[in-house]
Amino acid sequence: MAERLQQQQQQGHDKKGPSTSQILAVVTLLPLSGTLLFLAGATLVGALTGLGVTTPLFVIFSPVLVPAAFVIGLAVLGFSVSGAFGITALSSLSWMLNNFRRMIGLLPQQMEHAKRRVQETTGQLGQKARDVGQTVQSKAQ
């Protein structure tokens, strides 16, 4: 029985209510959230008032504003495309320069290879010329 009484008391402690940290969090955040909600409402009222005041001006000046907005949009698009073309050109030039540098680095090796092939070909042609000369000489005798 004593155990059952202790369990009931412990359960009573569990159901008492929110903890001190929860109460402190609510007390701290309630004024902050109320202030932020007030600022959001004031901003909405200001935006609607500004829209109500400027709407007639937009309607009156729309024959000027619409083409101006169109021209500004085209100018921004032109600058963006120009920048994209410039970046593309610079990256292409960079790639070509790196490729050219790599080719120059390989050029001495390729020159040596070509030189050896020319020497081998010259030696083979000289040997064939000697063979043909001997063949002609042997037929002439």
pLDDT tens figures, 103-131: 777 777 778 888 888 888 888 888 888 88
What type of residue is 8? Q
The closest alpha carbon to 34, from 24, 26, 46, 44, belongs to 26
- pTM of the model as a whole: 0.40
Angle at 16 between CA 15 and CA 21, to 5 degrees: 110
pLDDT tens figures, 68-105: 999 999 999 999 999 999 999 999 999 999 888 887 77
* Phi-psi domain of 46 (left: phi exceeds 0; alpha: psi -120 through 50; beta: other): alpha
Give the domain ranges of the chain: 22-62
- Which of 4-8, 22-26, 84-88, 115-119 is the least confident region? 4-8
